Amino acid sequence: MPGISDPGEDLIKLAIEHNIEIDVLPGATAFVVALVGSGMNTHKFAFEGFLDRDKKIRRSRLEEVKEEERTMIFYESPHRLKDTLKDMLKILGNREISVNRELTKKYQEVIREDIETVINIFNEKDVKGEFVLIVDGFKGEKTLADDYSNLSEREYVEALLDDGMSKKDAIKVVCKERKLKKDVVYKQVLDL
């Protein structure tokens, strides 16, 4: 029974709460199979599970992990795959990605390319099945995004709002990246 990012996790918690003994047996776990087959760094990785359905929350989470140096692992459903890939390209940049569909099943498919190429591939075909996305970790210097580095704090918040982020999350990102206190940025954007 799957137990990672799966309802099996809830069943296990319930069994433990009711003092029911459980035995966990090893088996094929989609993200481990995808990670090993990706050709990316397997020494250190970050399992992120499913990104939120809400695009603002999803984008905010991607902003939080954009400078993560470890290989990142995401699960995604077929009806959100294209939007997630577009958000990844915009926020994470055109990194290497391994897109894994229906692993260990009859119609298994693995695509190892950069994010932009994968978007073009899926624009030409129907998206079916469950996906594991293995995304290469951040390789550059940890600095402000080039698109925003010349903007004032107010302009930076406005740009993030235009990208669909909530005001609260935009302020949080600007504060974190520019190492500012929340009230300093908040005063500059009160009227937005």
Clarify whether residues 83 and 174 are in a common domain: no
Does the residue 160 lie in any domain?
Answer: yes
Weakest-pLDDT range from 97-101, 144-148, 157-161: 144-148
Question: Pick from 84, 85, 99: which is nearest to 35 by CA?
Answer: 99
Does the residue 4 lie in any domain?
Answer: no
The model scores a pTM over 0.85? no
Does the residue 100 lie in any domain?
Answer: yes
Our count of domains for the chain comes to: 2
Clarify whether residues 131 and 51 are in a common domain: yes
pLDDT of residue 147: 65
Clarify whether residues 93 and 61 are in a common domain: yes
Q: What's the half-sphere exposure (Cβ side, CA atoms, 13 Å) at 57?
A: 5
Clarify whether residues 161 and 114 are in a common domain: no
Does the residue 165 lie in any domain?
Answer: yes
What does the block give as tokens for 133? 């996305």
Clarify whether residues 75 and 116 are in a common domain: yes
Q: What is the pLDDT of residues 112-158, one digit of tens each?
A: 999 999 999 999 998 999 999 999 999 876 554 556 777 888 988 88
Domain containing residue 171: 153-188
Residue 192's pLDDT band, with cuts at 50, 70 and 90, is: confident
Residue 1's pLDDT band, with cuts at 50, 70 and 90, is: low
Q: List, in sequence order, the alpha helices (H) in 93-166.
A: 115-123, 153-162
Q: What is the pLDDT of residues 32-69, one digit of tens each?
A: 999 999 999 999 999 999 999 999 999 999 999 999 99
Residue 178's pLDDT band, with cuts at 50, 70 and 90, is: confident
Question: Pick from 65, 59, 68, 47: which is nearest to 5 by CA?
Answer: 47
Clarify whether residues 53 and 119 are in a common domain: yes
Does the residue 66 lie in any domain?
Answer: yes
Does the residue 24 lie in any domain?
Answer: no
